[in-house]
A = this chain, B = another copy of it.
Amino acid sequence: MAELDSTSSLARFLDGEFCEAKSEIRREISRCALFQSNSYDLTLDQNRDLTAERLSHVLGLPLIKKQLKDQVKEGQRGFLTKSLGIAELVCAADMATGVKLGVVCGLYGGAINNLGSGEQKTKWYLPVSELEFTGMFAMTERGHGSNVRGILTEARYEPSMQEFVIHTPCEDAQKMYIGNAMKGQYAAVFAQLSVNGEAQGPHCFVVPVRDPHGVLHPGVTVIDMKHKEGLHGVDNGILIFDNVRIPRENLLSKFGNVSADGLYSSPIQSKSSRFNAMLAALTPTRLGLTVQAMAAMKLGLIIAVRYSHSRRQFGPKDQDEVKIIEHQTQYLRLMPHLAAVLALTFTTRYAAGLIDAALYRGEDLQSSRFLQALVAGLKAYSTWENVACLQECRECTGGMGFMMENRIPALKCDSDVFVTFEGDNVVMLQVVVRELMTQYAKQLLSSPVSGLIRTWTSSASDSLRTSFLGITVDKVGDLRFLLKALSYRERVLQRSLVARLHSKVEKNKDEFFGAWNSCLHHVTGLALAHIHRVTLEQFALAIEECQVKDDHALLSKFCLLHGTSLVYQERAWYLEHKYLTPATSRKIRTQLLDLCKSVKDEALKVVSDFNIPACCIQAPIAGVSNPRAEWAFYSQPEAPAVQKTLSKL
């Protein structure tokens, strides 16, 4: 294909596996009339209708149709990696469409395919690929968002009718923020199952919400939540069930089933483990949030970096004004985010690869505590990083960045919700730490707290001390120094957290919730330290696979910048722990400034190699003309001279 031939080696490397599939999606989006303009000036209803139309178009694309059919099968090699690649591009084209695709295929589809039987998949998911209906995912309740174990919706089995009765007992049990609530036909509803008066914990049920003509199922009430900060094309609503009757077959039965005569059975005995298994089965979907955030960050950076290389302001006396990218503050604000999105690209690829490999081998995701921690941590880190990145992009583009025509405002508003939805970030960070602790504890077949103290305290101190002594000031420019520093921080925070919890719970006999809560700042710090370390490691490992010399050199600089930026952020901690001396800490700052300066021109090549179609970028200040806002147009900047040699590969 012509497009592929003109793609640089770096663009191909950043695409990774399934680059042909991605190219096909790029071509489809570029030629589809529905994706040629932004939609911020539509009414809420028009916006939702357009999004529904865009979603139908996407679901109808041959490549995606095939992907949906593959989703029903088990053991598809690289299924998640491919799905995420597609999802990122759909999000880049339109975030609302990407999020609705995530609701229908990732969440609803994830529930049916991971919690249901083969027959159930055929019945409730395969028709989605034929555009027969769409679904929604009803887990969150008004009173219980992030604390899903506490949901109150009831599912009582009635043996006489062989039916479940789904019921909303109180206001706090209303299913809230449900995406596709105003348009979808079926909902995967989480509810507390009771059989013969015995509580079996949360299970997932397929509940019909409305028929193809839009008529609501008896007993179902839907309230439109209407206007949000962003994602105007996503119809969020509230579902209320008034003793809604559904057939026995509508319980997704992989982790628990009820026989016709009302006998409950499950492959997992403990109610708590059973629910954990269900949640673990939904892990792959969570990685979708990270690629949504990455799509937004990449777009923001393309726009901000290009404009910074076009717009001029201030300069030496009696000379031309300089490009704003030349201002120290400007490159210092943008470059670390560019490094972070590269790190996220490789870390997400790594996580998806692990999940794909596990699923291909038919393994249970729940047992991989490390993987659960990684995915939860990536969700929190990437979505916060996205908020910070887009805010810098908005500010670095000045008044132009506040105009809707220039895309950044909508990206900000659309993606702002990612930090709290699908698991609030603060809760996600707690998941990271709990998973890590459980993993260690399991290895010891002991209680989390006391077991951990023994291993962590004994293992950590010696090797850490050694690594500390091995450091000389000259080495801060060495990636190994940065990797060691991140690893040290993670391990010290782990060790000290366990010691603190141990002291509170086992010595002072504090109640666990209170003890944990009093360490929450510590917990979130540890979780971020963990994910920071993994992103730098994965960035470094990915570069080793890069065969093209110039690309390797360029990525290495960004990798060093990412590590430098992460250590710089936490330099207070390193100074407190005497891991950095004051002189070394200052050296880190100088290194950050120097690296940001040294990559500011190459940044143009990197954003270009994100290979996002112009119809997704939209912004006139990034060189995409728009007759509605001629005043905003700046020609796409040419790469500065030095850079040109590098990009000629």
User: A403–B225 contact, CB under 8 A?
Assistant: yes
Given contacts A402-B417, A404-B227, A420-B398, contact A327 B578 (CB under 8 A): no
User: A403–B176 contact, CB under 8 A?
Assistant: no
Q: How large is the interface on A (under 10, 10 to 19, 20 to 34, 35 or more residues)?
A: 35 or more
Within the complex, which residue of B227, B327, B420, B521 is in contact with A40, where a contact is CB–CB below 8 Å? B227
Given contacts A402-B417, A631-B238, contact A147 B575 (CB under 8 A): no
What is the chain B residue whose CB lies nearest that of A171?
Answer: B631
Q: Per-residue 0/1 for A202-234: is the Cβ within 8 Å of any B Cβ (1 yes, 0 no)?
A: 000000000000000000000101111110000
Within 8 A of B (CB), among A299-354: 312-317, 321-322, 326-329, 332
A191 to chain B, nearest CB (A): 19
A136 to chain B, nearest CB (A): 15
What is the chain B residue whose CB lies nearest that of A586?
Answer: B576
A76 to chain B, nearest CB (A): 33
Is the C-beta of A545 less than 8 angstroms from some C-beta in chain B?
A: no
User: A147–B228 contact, CB under 8 A?
Assistant: no
Within the complex, which residue of B321, B412, B519 is in contact with A229, where a contact is CB–CB below 8 Å? B412
Is the C-beta of A116 less than 8 angstroms from some C-beta in chain B?
A: no
Task: Report the bound CA distance from A38 to B395 in whole Å.
Answer: 27
User: A145–B577 contact, CB under 8 A?
Assistant: no
Is the C-beta of A50 less than 8 angstroms from some C-beta in chain B?
A: no
Within 8 A of B (CB), among A365-424: 387, 391, 394-395, 398-399, 401-405, 409, 412-413, 416-417, 419-421, 424
A621 to chain B, nearest CB (A): 11
A149 to chain B, nearest CB (A): 10
Within 8 A of B (CB), among A612-645: 628-629, 631
A193 to chain B, nearest CB (A): 21
User: A177–B399 contact, CB under 8 A?
Assistant: yes
User: A314–B238 contact, CB under 8 A?
Assistant: no
What is the chain B residue whose CB lies nearest that of A40?
Answer: B227
What is the chain B residue whose CB lies nearest that of A397?
Answer: B420
Is the C-beta of A434 less than 8 angstroms from some C-beta in chain B?
A: no
What is the chain B residue whose CB lies nearest that of A417?
Answer: B402
Is the C-beta of A127 less than 8 angstroms from some C-beta in chain B?
A: no
User: A391–B387 contact, CB under 8 A?
Assistant: yes
Stretch at the interface among A9-17, A251-259, A277-285, A508-516: A508-516
User: B227–A403 contact, CB under 8 A?
Assistant: yes
Task: Report the bound CA distance from A171 to B630 in whole Å.
Answer: 11
Within the complex, which residue of B41, B399, B517, B631 is in contact with A420, where a contact is CB–CB below 8 Å? B399
Is the C-beta of A4 less than 8 angstroms from some C-beta in chain B?
A: no
Specify which chain B residues have a CB less than 8 angstroms from the CB of A391 in the assembled complex. 387, 391
Is the C-beta of A286 less than 8 angstroms from some C-beta in chain B?
A: no
A312 to chain B, nearest CB (A): 8
User: B420–A321 contact, CB under 8 A?
Assistant: no
User: A582–B576 contact, CB under 8 A?
Assistant: yes
User: B317–A513 contact, CB under 8 A?
Assistant: yes
User: A577–B572 contact, CB under 8 A?
Assistant: no
What is the chain B residue whose CB lies nearest that of A511?
Answer: B316
Highest count of chain B CB atoms <10 Å: which of A41, A227, A315: A227
Is the C-beta of A194 less than 8 angstroms from some C-beta in chain B?
A: no
9 smallest CB-CB distances across A and B, nearest first, come from A229-B409, A572-B572, A575-B575, A328-B520, A227-B404, A316-B513, A576-B582, A571-B572, A177-B399
Interchain Cβ contacts under 8 Å between A and B, 23 examples: A43-B43, A142-B631, A145-B313, A147-B314, A147-B321, A150-B321, A225-B629, A226-B404, A226-B405, A226-B628, A227-B403, A228-B402, A228-B403, A229-B409, A326-B517, A391-B391, A395-B424, A402-B417, A412-B416, A413-B413, A521-B593, A571-B576, A575-B576
